[in-house]
Amino acid sequence: MPGPRRRLLGLVAALLVLLALLVLSVMIGSTAIRPSVVWDALFHPSADIDQFAIRDYRLPRTVVGLVVGVALGLSGALIQALTRNPLADPGILGVHAGASFAVTVAVGVLGVRDIRGYMWFAFAGALIVTLMALALGSTRHGRSPVAMVLAGVCVGAVLGGAREALQLTNPDAFDAMRSWNAGSIVGRPLDLVWPILPFLVVALVLALAVSGPLNAMALGDELAAAQGVRLAHTRVLAIIALTLLAGGATAIAGPISFVGLMVPHVARWIAGPHQRWIFAYSVLLAPILLLASDILGRFVMHPREIPVGVVTAFVGAPVLIALVRRKKASGL
């Protein structure tokens, strides 16, 4: 296991890479804009067309990428620690499907077209599905991670089908939902991030609070209980944090798969099995992955753009396959 010094250095390096990507994400696009113009746009605003592009398009996109990335990465780390399943992903609990379904109901049935309106539906949908998976997965002997995950998969599949039924019977809803369902960080105004942000901060604090007990739970429920960990308490807090993070991210960006799966593994390779370090690394590595995928998506099919969710899926599936082909998936 790497020493604390190396872990800290790695964390600093990750932070520097993230900062560099933030700058690149603002600068690079269909037209390259000089760094001086970027600087002016941020600190000496004027009516210049390039400044407009930066303030109204690239800056929100970058901020959304950062926030969504942090949320996805941390939610992935949480769910893997919670289920002790190295192949778990926030999508597995049906959170994405729940949010998608709620948004489709809002857009298609209730006619909520404003993104500020339907984002709350996504949030509520994600929350309800997680609670449902939790309730359905609970057994008499306390909540079991396996049953919970299976419950999430089922709920997700059923809600996915119901969403499809709604979309097919309502062409307008179908058209409006197409881009949201692909998972993208484009065209999401910053106003959309602010209401979600407090929830994400709360979730961040909760995640850090449960990281210690989750360490003990990695040894097994009985051992953790013997060490004085309140199992139910820890699980509930972790699941609240998980829902807020994954639900918030989905509300803003739509379903983006594989970020929550990949990042905690990379974090474990670098930082070893300590949950607090894994969480810290996930918080930095996930936005790195997301922003890099987004920048990549701007170039591959230039001048058209590929939504970041498609890029992460194409990067993520090989990682998943490599994981399962290794003799032993990195232990939890």
Q: Which residues of this chain interact with other proteins, rule CB under 8 A?
A: 87, 136-137, 139-141, 144, 146-147, 150-151, 154-155, 157-158, 160-162, 164-165, 167-169, 171, 174-175, 178-179, 181-183, 257-258, 304, 306-307, 309-310, 313-314, 316-318, 320-321, 324-325
Q: Is 158 helix (H, G, I), strand (E, B) or coil?
A: helix
226-234 LR contacts (CB < 8 Å, sep 24+): 231/142, 232/142, 232/143, 234/210
Q: What minimum distance in Å lies between the beta carbon of 236 and other proteins?
A: 19
Q: What minimum distance in Å lies between the beta carbon of 312 and other proteins?
A: 8
Residue 67 or 306 having the CB closest to other proteins? 306
Q: What minimum distance in Å lies between the beta carbon of 180 and other proteins?
A: 10
Are the CB atoms for 134 and 143 separated by under 8 Å? yes
Alpha carbons 91 and 235: distance in angstroms, whole number: 18
Residue 112 or 315 having the CB closest to other proteins? 315
Residue 44 or 327 having the CB closest to other proteins? 327
Show the 3-state SS of 245-272.
HHHHHHHHHCCCCCHHHHHHHHHHHHHC
Residue linked to tokens 């307008």: 172
Are the CB atoms for 329 and 77 separated by under 8 Å? no
Residue 182 or 190 having the CB closest to other proteins? 182
Q: Provide the angle, in degrees to the nearest 10, between the axes of the packed helices 190-217 and 231-253.
A: 150
Q: What minimum distance in Å lies between the beta carbon of 17 and other proteins?
A: 25
Q: What minimum distance in Å lies between the beta carbon of 235 and other proteins?
A: 15
